[in-house]
Amino acid sequence: MVDLTKLDLKISSVSEMVTLFGTNDKYLKLLSKLSGVEVYASSNQLLIDTDNNEIVLQIKAVVELLQILLKKNIFFNERDIIYIYQMIPRTGHDELMDLFVGRKEIIKTLQGRPIYPKTLNQKKYLDLIEKSALTFGIGPAGTGKTYLAVLIALRKLKEGSIKRLVLTRPAVEAGENLGFLPGDLKEKIDPYLRPLYDAMYEILGLKQTEDLIEKGIIEIAPLAYMRGRTLENAFVILDEAQNTTINQMKLFLTRLGFGSKMVVTGDITQSDLPSKVESGLIKASNILKEINDISIHFFENSDVVRHPLVQTIIERFENAKN
C-alpha cells in the first residue's frame, strides 16, 4: 500500500458504479488480473496499488473509456474490457471509441439481437469485404473470419444484392474424394461444415435455412464440386483454405464471375495437408498482394472472441513452436 495511487472518479450513483465495475467488482478484479496490480474503488476514487505510471495511465484510460461508453448507453462485457486493455496502448482512445460508439450493425439474429464487429480488425475486415471483389481473411481460430463473412453474405442475400450464397471448403480430413464415405453428399460433407450451418441458423433459423438450401439459393458443397463452374451474382466463401493445394486454390479463385464476391478464410498455422504439399492459401496471399479489388487481411491473437483462455492457449502453442 506504500505505492498506492488514487484517481478521482465522477460517479453519480451506486447503480452507475455497479454497472461500471460489474457485480461484486468483477470488472475491477479483471483489471487487477490484466495489470498484475490490485485495483479497487472506494467512494469516488479508483485505488491502484502501484506507482508505476505506465500501468496507472493504462488503467485510467480504460476506465475513462468505459465511462464514456456508459454515458452513451453502450454496455460492455469482460471480453470488451480485455480487448480495450490490450489495445489502448497500441491504438489510443479515438480508434476504440469509433469501434464501440461509431459501430455499424452487420445484421440481426432471428431473435432481433443486433450483431456488431467486436474488434478493430473485424471492423476493417468487414470494410474490405464491402469494397473488394476478393478478400482473404487469415488468422487464428476464433477471430470470426468465416462467421463474419457468412453474416455479411446473408445480409446481402436479404437485401437482394446477390442471388446466391455458395459455401465451400476442402474436405481434406476425409480426403477430397469423398466416394469411400457412406451416405449422400450432404451426409458426407455436413460434419465439416457445421460452423457455417450454425451461423446461418442464428440468423435465418432452421426452417428458412433448409428452404433456401433446397431451392439452391444457399449451396454448400466440397471444393471438388466447383470445377467447371462460373459463379455469377453470388457471394462465395471458401473456408479452411489453408487445406487447399495450389491447384485447388487456383481452381476456386478462377470461378469468380460478374457481380460476385469471394471471401477466402483460413489459418496458415493449422494446415492438415501433407508436410511436403504447399498450402494454396499461403501461395495466394503471397502472389496476389497489391492487386486492385483484392484485399488480404490478417487477424491477430487479440482478435480471438472466444473464451479468454483460447487466446492464451494459441499464444502458448506459438511460443512453444518458436
Q: Give Dmax (Cα) for the chain.
A: 73
Percent of the chain with pLDDT over 90: 57
Single out the residue of 265, 223, 274, 275 nearest to residue 242, CA to CA. Answer: 265
Say if CB 293 and CB 133 are below 8 A apart. Answer: yes
Torsion of CA 57, 30, 302, 268, to 10 degrees: 150
Check residue 187 and give its pLDDT.
64
Check residue 80 and give its pLDDT.
92
Say if CB 227 and CB 254 are below 8 A apart. Answer: no
- Per-residue pLDDT tens over the stretch 144-185: 999 999 999 999 999 999 999 999 988 765 444 544 445 555
Check residue 174 and give its pLDDT.
46
Check residue 235 and give its pLDDT.
98
Check residue 2 and give its pLDDT.
53
Single out the residue of 148, 150, 165, 166 nearest to residue 252, CA to CA. Answer: 166
- pTM (predicted TM-score): 0.86
Check residue 189 and give its pLDDT.
63
- What is the mean pLDDT of each successive set of 10 residues along the chain, which is 322 residues long? 74 82 91 91 84 90 92 90 92 88 92 94 97 97 94 96 93 52 58 82 95 94 84 95 94 94 95 89 95 96 78 74 66
Check residue 178 and give its pLDDT.
46
d(CA 310, CA 268): 17
Cell 464471375 maps to which residue? Answer: 257
Check residue 184 and give its pLDDT.
58
